[in-house]
């Protein structure tokens, strides 16, 4: 990347990464791409492009500064009660521990029931279909096993019959 030194005042306002990116963009534009020689020479298009990049970068910095000041102010300007007020306004947890545990258990039971109902509604028909297919496959496998056993018995009978015939000769 070799921008002309005449543009050094503009280039110095940009970080090196943006200078590299600007160089790549100027020589690889879709419409009217420039050769490296054209981009390296003094050219009003290059100057205009660099001014545009500097303006974009400065606007970005200004926005970031403004955003950071808002965040910083919101962090430091929060109204926090002092520790004495906090401790005075609260009851110790141990007095209500049983009540809290009871509420938590009830809420967990309720959520568990809701989850089961949701799963049943959502996946019930799918599980029924899978169960039906599984039962059909089990029945088919059992029939095939029975047929295989029947064929084995018939084969044994046939082998025995052949053995008897060959012995009788």
pLDDT in tens, 94-104: 567 788 888 88
pLDDT in tens, 72-94: 666 665 555 555 555 555 555 55
pLDDT in tens, 124-161: 888 888 888 999 999 999 999 999 999 999 999 999 99
What integer pLDDT is reported at residue 155 of this predicted model?
96
Over pLDDT 90: what percentage of the chain? 23
CA-based R_g, the chain, Å: 42
Query: Residue ranges per domain, the chain?
Result: 5-76, 116-169
Helix ranges (DSSP H) in the chain: 8-11, 16-27, 36-40, 44-76, 83-89, 97-168
pTM, rounded to two decimals: 0.41
């Amino acid at each position: 990347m070799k921008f002309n030194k005449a543009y050094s005042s503009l280039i110095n306002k940009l970080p090196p990464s943006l200078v590299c990116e600007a160089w790549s963009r100027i020589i690889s534009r879709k419409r009217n791409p420039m050769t490296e020689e054209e981009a390296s020479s003094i050219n009003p298009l290059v100057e205009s492009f660099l001014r545009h990049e500097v303006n974009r970068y400065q606007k970005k910095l200004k926005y970031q500064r403004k955003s950071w000041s808002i965040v910083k102010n919101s962090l430091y300007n929060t109204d926090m009660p002092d520790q004495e007020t906090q401790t005075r306004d609260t009851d110790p947890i141990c007095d209500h521990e049983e009540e809290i545990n009871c509420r938590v258990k009830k809420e967990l039971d309720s959520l568990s029931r809701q989850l089961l109902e949701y799963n049943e509604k959502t996946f019930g028909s799918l599980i029924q279909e899978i169960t039906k297919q599984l039962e059909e496959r089990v029945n088919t496998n059992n029939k095939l096993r029975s047929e295989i056993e029947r064929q084995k018995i018939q084969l044994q009978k046939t082998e025995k019959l052949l053995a008897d015939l060959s012995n009788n000769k």
